[in-house]
């Protein structure tokens, strides 16, 4: 298992204004990102861990989860993290017509705006699936798709110590956007070990800049 799959090597050659695959490298920064929340069981202890370490992150939220757990979404913002759009119901985008894909995105934009006050947020497609018509419409709208450069593999449901060993064999680099999820305990268990290691190596854990 490799945290840097081949498709990321392809995407990084596209203009950064189209697809974001890395963050600013100032201060030897890492950018933790969490998909599929907010989750009432798993997101709060993750926020507690980040707070203990003075770490910031970006949470790509599902719209219907925002509606169900709006207070938790508000807590994410109040604690200095940034938000992203991860669709409204997390469907298989490749099975939907383009207008239905954008309905998912726009409904989530509205849900996010009710929490953050911002009209638009970076969009990360469910499962990383990026249909070409969707990408082309984003380009026309001058809106960037938020991807990642480093896959924590936490969704594989392998034991956390095994995944931590994989990450240590494939070290992160400054500017990496790290893909994680806050819908299980795996990311929390991994980060309890990884955050102290990364901080000892001189990394700052920052949230991605907000989309303009």
pLDDT band with cut points at 50, 70 and 90 for residue 16: low
pLDDT band with cut points at 50, 70 and 90 for residue 25: confident
Cα separation, 145 vs 123, in Å, equals: 5
| Residue 79 reports pLDDT greater than 70 | yes
| Residue 142 reports pLDDT greater than 80 | yes
Give me the chain's average pLDDT, please. 92
Architecture of domain 23-205: Alpha-Beta Barrel (3.20)
Where in the sequence numbering do the catalytic residues fall?
Answer: 35, 181
**Which residues have C-beta within 8 Å of that of residue 185, sequence separation ≥ 6?**
42
Residue range 173-196: mean pLDDT, rounded: 96
Question: Tokens 């509205």 map to which residue?
Answer: 110
Question: Between vectors from CA 170 to CA 169 and to CA 173, what angle results, nearest 5°?
Answer: 135
Question: Between vectors from CA 195 to CA 60 and to CA 7, what angle results, nearest 5°?
Answer: 50
Per DSSP, the three-state class of 82 is strand
The residues spanned by each domain of the chain are: 23-205
């Amino acid at each position: 298992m490799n945290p840097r799959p081949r498709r990321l090597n392809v995407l990084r050659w596209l203009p950064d204004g189209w697809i974001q695959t890395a963050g600013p490298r100032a201060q030897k920064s890492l950018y933790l990102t969490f998909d599929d929340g907010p989750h009432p069981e798993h997101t709060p202890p993750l926020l507690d861990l980040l707070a203990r370490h003075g770490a910031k992150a970006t949470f790509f939220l599902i719209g219907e989860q925002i509606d169900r757990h709006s207070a938790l979404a508000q807590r994410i913002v109040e604690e200095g993290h940034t938000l992203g759009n991860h669709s409204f119901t997390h469907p298989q985008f490749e099975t939907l017509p383009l207008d239905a894909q954008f309905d998912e995105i726009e409904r989530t934009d509205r849900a996010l705006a009710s929490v953050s006050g911002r009209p638009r947020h970076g969009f990360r497609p469910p499962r990383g699936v990026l249909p070409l018509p969707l990408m082309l419409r984003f380009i026309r709208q001058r809106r960037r798709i938020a991807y990642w450069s480093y896959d924590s593999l936490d969704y594989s449901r392998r034991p956390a110590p095994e995944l931590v060993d994989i990450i240590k064999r494939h070290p992160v680099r400054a500017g990496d956007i790290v893909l994680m999820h806050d819908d299980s305990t795996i990311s929390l268990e991994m980060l309890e070990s990884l955050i102290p290691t990364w901080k000892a190596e001189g990394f700052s854990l920052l949230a991605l800049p907000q989309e303009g």
